[in-house]
Every structure is written in structure tokens, then in C-alpha cells.
Amino acid sequence: MWVKDPDAMHVLNSQGGRATVYVVNVGDRDIQVGSHFHLADVNRDLLFFTDLDTATEAEAVLTDSRRVRSEQIAAARNLAYDWSKTPGKAPWGYRLDIAPGDSVRFSPENAPSEAIAVVPIGGRRRVPGLRKDKPDDDVALD
């Protein structure tokens, strides 16, 4: 990033509406998420939690040797945040609070993740269909 005055303070993301989430990857490989990707549209193998205790409980379920893997994942999904359209609740309408062009990689081995800061998507608050199973038209976030 080119900055004319390196001593000046530059705000990259809005401070309003910030939230914290914890992420558990139930897949078998790392998943990388870019800076401006709508979190509710990321790979379905990423589960979002708004508190560390529930994320930790989900990780315990995922390592329960009394269940087969499909049962472990189903139980963890039941603990995760509902992906339905709920304005104001992460991950719906939120993106990662990182610099433009950056990304974060979530590994199945590092679950739950550290606290991840997220911010509301700004602008017109509309996102296009970003996955094959979603419509191509814009979705209003509010």
C-alpha cells in the first residue's frame, strides 16, 4: 500500500459493528478466506461461533471417538452459529477485519481458531452469488 504520509493514521476498516468469531474447520484441508469475502458464503466446512466455550465444545465433539466422522460433524454443526439471514449477527453481512488483499487460512488442526475480528460489509451492503449453490443475483444484507 502506498502512503503519502507514513506518520499519518489510516483506518482500513470501520470500527463500528465489529464482532469476534471463532472458527472450526471440519474439512480435511486448509481453507483460505480473502479480506472481502462474505463470511456466510464461505466454504461450508468452516463453522462459526460467537463464543470460545461453544467453539471448544464443538472441537471436543469432533474428537469424540464414540462417534463416526459424519456424526461428529453433524453434532458440531448443531452447535455452530445458524447461517441463516440474521442481520447484525456474524457471520451474516460480515467479512474479516484484515487489510484489503490479505487472507486468513483456517486449518483443521488448529481448532478452534484464535479470536477473529470481523466487520460489517460496507457500501451498498449487497453481495453477489459467490458459490455454485447460490443464485447469481445480488443479495441485500439488511
Specify which residues 117 forms β-bridges with: 20
- Averaged pLDDT for residues 44-57: 91
The predicted-structure confidence for 90-110, as pLDDT tens digits, reads as follows 788 889 999 888 999 999 988
pTM of the predicted structure, to 2 decimals: 0.82
Residue 107: how many CB atoms within 10 A of its CB?
Answer: 13
C-alpha to C-alpha distance for 108 and 73, rounded to whole angstroms: 12
- Measured between alpha carbons, how far is residue 21 from residues 8, 68, 132, 134, 136 in Å? 30, 27, 25, 23, 27
| Residue that wins the pLDDT comparison between 17 and 105 | 105
C-alpha to C-alpha distance for 121 and 141, rounded to whole angstroms: 8
Q: Confidence class of residue 129 from pLDDT cuts 50, 70 and 90?
A: low
Question: Nearest Cα to 40, choosing from 97, 119, 116, 95?
Answer: 95
- Averaged pLDDT for residues 56-63: 93
